[in-house]
Amino acid sequence: MSISITRRTLMAGVAATPLAAYAQGANDLKGTTVVFASWGGAYQDAEKVSYCEPFAKATGATVVQDGPMNVAKFRAMAGSGTPDWDVVDVTGGFLEVAAKDGLLEKIDTKLVNIGRLDPRFVHEYGVGAIVWSYNLGYSTAAYANGAPTTWADLFDLKKFPGKRTLLDQPVASLEVALLADGVAPDKLYPLDVDRAFKKLDQIKAQTVFWSTNSQSQQLFVDREVTMGIILNGRVYDAQQKGAKIALSWEQNIQAVDYLVVPKGSKNRDAAMRLIDTMTVAENQTKVANLIAYSPTNLAAVKDVDKKVEPWLCTTPENLQKGFVMSQLYWRDHLKDLTERWTAWKIA
């Protein structure tokens, strides 16, 4: 089973399904260790406080933090049949790839209450954790006399001088290059790969590549870069901590993270129960309030702090300015385009 998220479906309201919360049991997992891997930094800190600690308190299990999520490492683990990770936070594009390649356990709906979640974010092999976006982030100190607003500005080194930053992978980077080159969001897929790499050549020499979301945030905090691709929640977190950073919502690229269990997890049932804790509205609200990523349990939205709402990519205004990344495109092209990306970087 694969899903197709569109702007229309993201904006649609879905009635909550009145299912009773699954009982976690009173300290019935004492002696069990569950390893949770995510993307590190402020986001994983939010997940630890909002999900892992309540789960440990309710069940007696020990939850160990690991990561950051790495595609090659995940593949090697799941391919071995004895993964070190039990629950992993992955992108929607990788979910599709991993499901196709047989690297995931099916979600056990006897242990995970999928009825709590918006059905658009329920997959046979994963459940939605957050909805987020790639945005154009920029230094307010560097551009005090006129802020960049579009992806085209990212490639305008004359008007907006300074070091750029891109994530070290083709996902989003190719979309951004084409958007900057004038391709409309509804005409992006299938991606014109040659055109995208030609555009990226324009800023390659001025670009610092980041491999983790925490690194992208730190590059701005340390003022090593002045503009680039960054997640909306990372800008929110950095700004709350005093960094001179802002973002543009123009043509933001929306995506979904999913919670999955690698094939062969030795703690499969406990892993499923941790995922269940991650679907609870109260817990998802806590994550949203800490780092401004949108919940996948719609019941969580009503309690999101009013100061955080403008930072969510799913608020009507921000949603209207953006579009949804094609998970299915990246399912079919991630491997080949990653190889081409690696070759392009060293050329």
d(CA 193, CA 296): 32
pLDDT in tens, 175-232: 999 999 999 999 999 999 999 999 999 999 999 999 999 999 999 999 999 999 999 9
The residue-averaged pLDDT of 266-276 equals 97
The residue-averaged pLDDT of 98-110 equals 96
Query: What pLDDT is recorded for position 19?
Result: 37
Query: What pLDDT is recorded for position 28?
Result: 87
Query: What pLDDT is recorded for position 17?
Result: 37
Query: What pLDDT is recorded for position 18?
Result: 35
pLDDT in tens, 283-336: 999 999 999 999 999 999 999 999 999 999 999 999 899 999 998 999 899 999
Label residues 270-292 b or e (16+ Cβ within 10 Å = b).
bbbbbbbbbbbbebbbbbbbbbb
Same fold, 7-131+256-320 and 133-254+323-346: yes
Query: What pLDDT is recorded for position 145?
Result: 85
Query: What pLDDT is recorded for position 26?
Result: 62
Query: What pLDDT is recorded for position 10?
Result: 54
Other CB atoms within 10 Å distance of the CB of residue 47: 28
What letter would DSSP give residue 237?
H
Query: What pLDDT is recorded for position 268?
Result: 96
The CATH H-level superfamily of 133-254+323-346 is Periplasmic binding protein-like II (3.40.190.10)
CATH 3.30.300.30 fits 7-131+256-320, yes or no: no
Query: What pLDDT is recorded for position 215?
Result: 95
**The token pair that represents 14 in the structure block:** 């879905």
Q: Show me where the domains of the chain are located.
A: 7-131+256-320, 133-254+323-346
pLDDT in tens, 118-157: 898 999 999 999 999 999 999 999 998 899 999 999 999 9
- pLDDT value at 24 more than 60: no
Angle between helices 327-346 and 193-200 (to 10 degrees): 40
The residue-averaged pLDDT of 59-88 equals 95
d(CA 86, CA 88): 7
The residue-averaged pLDDT of 158-186 equals 97
Query: What pLDDT is recorded for position 6?
Result: 54
Residue percentage of the chain with pLDDT more than 90: 86
- pLDDT value at 22 more than 60: no
Label residues 160-187 b or e (16+ Cβ within 10 Å = b).
bebbbbbbbbbbbbbbbbbbbbebeeee
Q: How far is CA 30 from the centre of its chain?
A: 31
If pLDDT is split at 50, 70 and 90, which confidence band does 98 have?
very high
Torsion sign (Cα): 161, 147, 184, 93: positive
d(CA 158, CA 162): 9
Task: Please name the residues in contact with 309: beta carbons below 8 A apart, sequence gap of 6 or more.
Answer: 315
Q: What is the mean pLDDT of the chain?
A: 92
Look up the pTM and report it: 0.83
If pLDDT is split at 50, 70 and 90, which confidence band does 14 have?
very low
- pLDDT value at 13 more than 90: no
What letter would DSSP give residue 78?
H
Distances (CA, A) of 154 to 187, 250, 282, 343: 20, 12, 38, 23
Query: What pLDDT is recorded for position 5?
Result: 55
